[in-house]
Amino acid sequence: MPYCLYLRKSRADAEAEARGEGETLARHEKTLLELSRRLHLEISEIYREIVSGETIAARPVMQRLLAEVGRGVWDGVLVMEVERLARGDTIDQGIVAQTFKLSGTKIITPMKTYDPNNEYDEEYFEFGLFMSRREYKTINRRLQRGRIASVMEGKYNGSKPPYGYRRVKIENGRGYTLQPDEEQAPVVKLIFSLYAYGEKRADGGMDETGISKIASKLNSLGIPTAKGCVWTASSIQTMLRNPVYIGKVRWNARPVRKKIENGEMVKTRPRAKPEDWILKDGLHPALIDNKTWETVQRRLKENPSRPCPREYETQNPLAGLVVCGICGRKMVRRPQKGAAATLMCPAPACRNISCRLDCAEDRILLALRGWLSGYQLPYEAASRQTPQSEWKKQALAKMIRKQRELIKQQERIYEFFEKGVYTTPIFQERLKRNLEQLEYTEKTITQIQAEIQALKPERNKEILPKTDPVFARYEYGTPAEKNALLKSVLKKVIYTKAVRTHRNGAPDGFELILFPRLQKGHTDNG
């Protein structure tokens, strides 16, 4: 049987590349190919992993390799060192060791060949995985201590600077600090001034300005966020609470928390209480004076966000599931007096048109039933046909058509600007919207293409999600129960509606792209 190569870039490799030591994967590939020629091994495939994930769940290439090793596809795997295979917890290490042992697949490194059927090699391999995990924890503790020491010295540790600043290297020293951005800094001062003191009226008086009004004002002035998007109330509120603008640096404001969802470990970053922060004077200059800062904080306390009561029940069966096809935000439920609730994008300037929530819910269930019916074919027919692949190909074709339309639209925008039909502000606004949609469409195309590539028809019988109980229980469930049932079989749904329907017309007119949650053990992420 053939052999394969597994190449993975670690944090130490990235640091070595920064020192000019060359591209890691290329060097490792050359070394392992020379080893294979020396040992007269036939290399049929090379796996490259750029993601530096702590767990197997965060490494899709490793998942695919393990699935093939488990099926006995490979006689051996060439890798630079066993630590490249697993550096996660004992569960991940056990999965790797057990998979190679049961399939009898060898692990070949430049230093040693590990035969899982050899008792001593097995013991040495497991010891190597244990030591790699211990080394990982030691490195992680050292990094955390270094970050905290850096904060205590007033340095900025974030990878991205807050709005209003630029991240710069400290001269004649290690670490980074912040410098005011010439274009963004005045916007920060305007936001704090409007919220603290209000906006001046024509008669000389001052009108109080709320957070939503500030967001609308910035959008009307055509001022973009750091990412080139529109301003929202939540982004303004986050800025008003950030002490970086009075010359402080903080750490541990949003610590990483791990939890299990649907049998998988996921990482979240909840907001910590201010008393849990590490807050120190920074090396960077302040943009806001203390008087304005204290006025803003007092107003925020007087107008706190409405807390969710513990007895609050979810009213939206699609909560956290439907994603806007234009800006990528999660769609939300908007209740209406005397009318059906609608599904809408929360971004004020987003052009995605809302629809009735019950219509979107019905269409999702209909599409899910149609997708499932393809899997309920006889197994012999399923081995010849690939309903999931066909479904994804249709979704890919739609996104490619949308990409072509956006490219043609971009050409027309340039043409109208050259002819003088568009003024410079209109040209910039329309081009920015076009580029945002084009970027999102291209990312979706790449994701669907990867899922089509990974989908294997012979796995149809194994990857069928447990959708039958969903349909049996859905009709009688509460909105919260319906939401949990849908999330058990769907990862997300992309919603797009570009044309507004007439008042008495059909209440749909939108497009949905579903991403089913397949059973564990399949390498597909869609």
For 147, residues 6+ apart whose C-beta sits below 8 A from its C-beta are 157, 251
Is the pLDDT assigned to residue 463 strictly greater than 80? no
Q: Above pLDDT 90, what percent of the chain? A: 13
User: pLDDT: is 520 or 106 the higher one?
Assistant: 106
User: pLDDT: is 264 or 414 the higher one?
Assistant: 414
Cα–Cα distance for residue pair 466/485, rounded to 1 Å: 10
Is the Cβ–Cβ distance between 279 and 245 less than 8 Å? no
pLDDT for the residue 187: 93
Is the pLDDT assigned to residue 178 strictly greater than 50? yes
**pLDDT tens-digit profile of 100-159?**
888 888 889 888 888 877 888 877 777 777 777 777 777 778 878 888 888 899 999 888
Residue whose entry in the numeric block shows the structure tokens 């991205």: 160
> No. of H helices and E strands in the chain?
16, 19
CA torsion sign, 72 to 76 to 77 to 81?
Answer: positive
pLDDT for the residue 495: 92
The radius of gyration computed from the CA coordinates of the chain, to the nearest angstrom, equals 27
61-70, 186-195, 506-515: range with lowest mean pLDDT: 506-515
pLDDT for the residue 182: 92
Is the pLDDT assigned to residue 56 strictly greater than 60? yes
CA-wise closest residue to 217 among 240, 238, 194:
194
- The mean pLDDT of 402-423, rounded to a whole number, is 79
Is the pLDDT assigned to residue 61 strictly greater than 80? yes
Cα–Cα distance for residue pair 251/223, rounded to 1 Å: 29
- The mean pLDDT of 343-359, rounded to a whole number, is 85
CA-wise closest residue to 343 among 367, 327, 359:
359
Cα–Cα distance for residue pair 319/332, rounded to 1 Å: 7
Instruction: Return the half-sphere exposure (C-beta side, CA atoms, 13 A cut-off) of residue 138.
Output: 6
**pLDDT tens-digit profile of 273-291?**
888 888 899 999 999 999 9
CA dihedral 147→148→149→152, nearest 10 degrees, is 120
Cα–Cα distance for residue pair 192/287, rounded to 1 Å: 10
Go through the domains of the chain in sequence order and give each one's CATH number.
3-149 (3.40.50.1390), 165-302 (3.90.1750.20), 322-386+455-516 (no CATH)
- pTM to 2 decimals? 0.55
Cα–Cα distance for residue pair 175/247, rounded to 1 Å: 17
Dmax over Cα atoms in the chain, in whole Å? 89
DSSP 110: S
Is the pLDDT assigned to residue 501 strictly greater than 90? no
Please provide the distance, in angstroms rounded to a whole number, between the alpha carbons at the two ends of the chain.
31
Supply the angle between the helices 11-18 and 24-39 in degrees, to the nearest 10: 110
pLDDT for the residue 249: 92
User: Any idea what the Cα angle at residue 71 is, between residues 379 and 108, rounded to 5°?
Assistant: 165
